[in-house]
Structure 1
Amino acid sequence: MKYFFLAILISLELFASLDGITSFEADFTQSITDDKNKTLVYSGHIVALKPQNAKWSYIKPVKKDVFINDFEVTIVEPEIEQVIVKTLESNFDFFKIISNAKKIEENKYLANYKNSKFTITKNGSFIESISYLDEFENRVKISFKNQKQNQTVNKTVFTPVFPLNFDIIRD
């Protein structure tokens, strides 16, 4: 569930207050800190394209791909030969959230969605990081580097690919 929520959040945050962005690509580091200050760190690469397409490729500590297409999330976990397909809520609107992001300081924005607050930090025209509390009250921070914006993206990158022998779970 953490990956599912994270993928949704990052996809929406990539465009927060940057309405002119049509695509985004970056390396990311995601840290999740629990109430006992234990931190898990993940890293990988993201490619996103308006209106609702994203591919999160987690590289460390485990390999995993998270695909977001329209109203569906597909999580491909090669290490356990499993694919999880989830339907997003039909009223989930990435860009409504983005349009509600308000500047609170220089290069810092706040977006509210379903009783959660997301802090977005920019460096120039690029999103540098996003921070929020997840549904388990964990502190999550996603930092981006090697960002690219408004480049041509082949939509096939958002099509989940996995071996036919993987178990498929529909949630």
Structure 2
Amino acid sequence: MKILIICLLFMGNVYGLGDDIKSFRANFIQNVQGENGDKITYQGSIEAKIPNLAKWIYKNPLEKEIYINGEDVVVYEPKLYQATISHLKEKTDFFSILNNAVADKEGKYHSKIGKTIYWLTFKDKKPYLLEFQDDFDNKVSIKFTKVLINQPIEDSDFVFIPKEGIDIIEQ
């Protein structure tokens, strides 16, 4: 869950990397490799909008929807007929990552939020790859494709509307 929260929003200005990013849409492939070498790959799409809205739609290997409004996170798992609502405890969104990013000698950007160091790679002035190691020592990489910047996105796209009959768990 923290992996998803950390990668919330691709907005802001990163030391001359391009125009201010006010909205972000992309497909993604997320690889998570555990300490023991086991790897799982997720695929889906993300859309995000300033100041703090994001929606992750996971398609493979399981369906999941994650809605983030800056303060709360809703994780909806259709196959479990369940949505979990939790409150964010610390500000580890992509705004923070971008605003703290510093270029290294190889042209990658890194940003430290809390104890975690995030590595950002840009391609054509657009976010392309985000890499970090999470609190469970998993190596995480998220590659973005079909990136669209500053396209109109309605605020209503980020509102979770529960389907009838699902369980809602508040944490």
- After TM superposition, the score normalised by the length of structure 2 is 0.91
Distance 1:135 1:43 in 2: 22
Counterparts of 1:65-76 in structure 2, within 5 Å, are 65-76=65-76
Deviations 1:39-69 (A, max 9, x none): 0000000000011100000000111000001
| Residues 162, 114 of structure 1: alpha-carbon distance in 2 compared, 3 angstrom cutoff | same
Give SS of 1:162's match: coil
CA RMSD in angstroms comes to: 1.6
Q: What is aligned with 1:152?
A: 152
- Name stretches of at least 5 consecutive residues in structure 1 with no aligned partner: none
Q: What is aligned with 2:7?
A: 10
Distance 1:148 1:107 in 2: 22
| Residues 126, 48 of structure 1: alpha-carbon distance in 2 compared, 3 angstrom cutoff | same
Give SS of 2:104's match: strand
Matched AA of 2:73: V
CA drift of 1:25 comes to 0.2
Is 1:92 aligned to 2:91, yes or no? Answer: yes
Q: What is aligned with 1:103?
A: 103
Give SS of 1:70's match: coil
Matched AA of 2:91: F
Give SS of 1:11's match: coil
Q: What is aligned with 1:81?
A: 81
Contact 1:67 1:75 in 2 (8 A): yes
Q: What is aligned with 2:31?
A: 31
Runs (4+) of structure 1 exceeding 4 A deviation are: none
Counterparts of 1:109-120 in structure 2, within 5 Å, are 109-120=109-120
Between structures 1 and 2, the one with greater helix share: 1
CA drift of 1:74 comes to 0.2
| Residues 151, 107 of structure 1: alpha-carbon distance in 2 compared, 3 angstrom cutoff | farther
Matched AA of 1:10: C
Give the paired residue count: 166
Distance 2:149 2:98 in 1: 16
Contact 1:107 1:124 in 2 (8 A): no
Deviations 1:125-165 (A, max 9, x none): 11111000011000000000000001111111100123131
Contact 2:74 2:85 in 1 (8 A): yes
- Name stretches of at least 5 consecutive residues in structure 2 with no aligned partner: none
Matched AA of 2:36: K
- After TM superposition, the score normalised by the length of structure 1 is 0.91
